[in-house]
Every structure is written in C-alpha cells, then in structure tokens.
Amino acid sequence: MLDEKTRYLTPREVEKVFGLTAKWLANLRFYKRGPAYLKVGSKKILYSVDDVESWLQTSARRIETQGEFSGLQEIGKISEM
C-alpha cells in the first residue's frame, strides 16, 4: 500500500527531476540494481523521492571509494613530471 506522506514519481518524472532516463531505470530494474521501486498493477512503476535521493547518494559514495577518481590524481602526477 502506498504511503500517503511519501511523494512517488513515475520513471518519466524521475527523468525530469533527477536526470536519470526512464530507459536507464528500466535497465537497472532488469538487473535488480538501482533505487527501490513499487510495481502497481501489471505495468505501473513508482519510485519514492526519498529512495531515489538515497540511492544517488550511496552510488556516488561507492564510485568514490572504488577509486574511480584516482585516475585524475595520476594525470596530475604525470603533468608535474
């Protein structure tokens, strides 16, 4: 059952608000990744704003800790030589 206090968005609305395309969200759902979502009926997908924001924050932290930005530091070292 939907919580009346929580704001829910369709994938298209998530795209407009957060810039995550509806197609990319569909791919994340297929691979069981991405923000939590609700499936209402046979086709309607809804995301809570809180879940999307939380997932974005967690994903950003995970990328930073996996060293994705360490390459930028290496480039800086090369240019110093």
- Element containing residue 38 per DSSP (H, E): strand 38-40
Q: What radius of gyration do the chain's Cα atoms show?
A: 17
Q: How confident is the model at residue 77 (pLDDT cuts 50, 70, 90)?
A: very low
Per-residue H/E/C for 9-37 = ECHHHHHHHHCCCHHHHHHHHHCCCCCCC
- The encoded tokens of residue 77 equal 């070292």
pTM above 0.85, yes or no: no
**pLDDT tens figures, 1-48:** 556 677 999 999 999 999 999 999 999 999 999 999 999 999 999 999
The CA-to-CA distance between both ends of the chain, in Å, stands at 61
Domain ranges of the chain: 8-80
Check residue 2 and give its pLDDT: 58
Residues 7-17 as b/e (b if ≥16 CB within 10 A, e otherwise) read ebbebebbbee
